[in-house]
Amino acid sequence: MAESSYDLRVVGVVEETADAHSVSFAPPAGVDFSYRPGQFLTLAVPSDQTGVAARCYSLSSSPHDGGPLTVTVKRTVDGYASNWICDHLREGSTIRSLPPSGIFTPASLDADLLLFAGGSGITPVMSITRTALAEGSGRIVLLYANRDERSVIFSRELSELAAAHPARLVVVHWLESVQGLPTQDQLRAFAEPFATHDAFVCGPAPFMKLTVAALKELGFPRERRHQEKFVSLGGNPFGDLDASPEEQAEAEHEIEEAEGEEPTDEPATASGEGATHLEVELDGQTYAYDDWAPGTKLLEHLEAKGVRAPYSCREGECSACAVRLLEGEVKMLHNDVLDDDDLADGIRLGCQSVPVTDVVRVTYS
């Protein structure tokens, strides 16, 4: 069992719509499962084929009220994990989870927020909305796109929140059955009056692509433009005992391929010149080491030093371990989640980054 995975007990299940369930959990006594709005849990869904299907689900609950951790899961066609959760988890059930992770969270709850959600993308957006209204002072504008009225998750609560905070929250519903799919021009026109807000986008890939393109047209800088992207995790972050022989063999094959990569035409790196000096800012502390070895991933080096750095998938398929480069450069062995804008902004995945330069400084903030 992975050291930082825990059994969560289901304390409630709510059917939000015909195909979306909110599942609430209680962590083990004495375990700190504090989280920030917009973060997610990585759940270990049992699988006959692979032993474990690791999936990331955003928390829809708010940390401000001390209530249970709640994820909202929408069934997807051919989605094994989402259907298993909706069909099998009941009050009293247990499921393994990693602690909350993710960087899709406001730097300040007092900032003005422009939120875009499509379908089940409302989940982290709901956590942000609930928390910002309770603890912050900024104004919030939310555009929520769905197929039809029956597909709207949290419909009643969104109406109640807007009525309770008329000066701070505006909710606009976009229904494909009525208005058709939104275009980039329409999204740009909607966002234009709120060009000074911090924007957060979560939903289906085509929706996010159009929305981010509209925000770029309006000149939203990278530091005020955030999007949450999830992919099905191919690895198993819960420990080798849960992996099927086929899955373990595949993981070993991937390691062998990474270690046997052909030389590239990149500039001379630390790989042939000894260890790298590393400085890491994490949770208000700075860690410094002079022995980051060539070929060793940043996350693995920190774990060897006893530093509890955040992670989830360990496969470069989520953003839980993301760091921002302050100095130097690293090479990522695998990346399925960061786009060109992220890379240009200095964001790298700690679980896949090996040193390139003799000095590297990063921050997890």
Q: Provide φ and ψ at 8, rounded to 5°.
A: -100, 140
In a domain, 106, yes or no: no
pLDDT of residue 4: 75
pLDDT of residue 314: 82
User: Among residues 176, 198, 228, which one ends one of the domains?
Assistant: 228
Q: Which of 55, 80, 101 is the last residue in one of the domains? A: 101
Q: Are 333 and 260 spatial neighbours (Cβ–Cβ below 8 Å)? A: no
In terms of pTM, does the model score above 0.85? no
CATH code, domain carrying 318:
3.10.20.30
Calculate mean pLDDT across residues 6-15: 96
Average pLDDT over residues 284-291: 95
d(CA 67, CA 52): 28
Minimal CA–CA distance to 104: which of 354, 362, 342, 351?
342
Return the biggest CA–CA distance within the chain.
63
Range of the domain at 131: 113-228
* Residue-wise pLDDT tens digits, 52-110: 888 889 999 999 988 999 999 999 888 889 999 999 999 999 999 988 988 899 999 99
Give residue 354's pLDDT band: very low, low, confident or very high (50, 70, 90): very high
Q: For the chain, what is the radius of gyration of the CA atoms?
A: 21
Give percent helix, percent strand, percent coil of the chain, each to the nearest 5: 30, 30, 40
Q: Which of 178, 207, 228 is the last residue of a domain?
A: 228
Buried b / exposed e across 1-25, counting CB within 10 Å, b at 16+? ebeebbebebbebeebbebbbbbbb
Number of domains in the chain: 3
What integer pLDDT is reported at residue 342 of this predicted model? 85
Where would I find the H helices in 136-198? Answer: 155-164, 176-179, 184-191
Q: Which residue has the higher pLDDT, 214 or 342?
A: 214
Tell me, what DSSP letter sits at residue 242? G
**In the predicted model, is pLDDT for residue 31 greater than 70?**
yes
Q: Tell me, yes or no, whether 220 and 278 share the same domain.
A: no
Q: What does the pLDDT look like over 208-231, one tens digit per residue?
A: 999 999 999 999 998 899 998 766
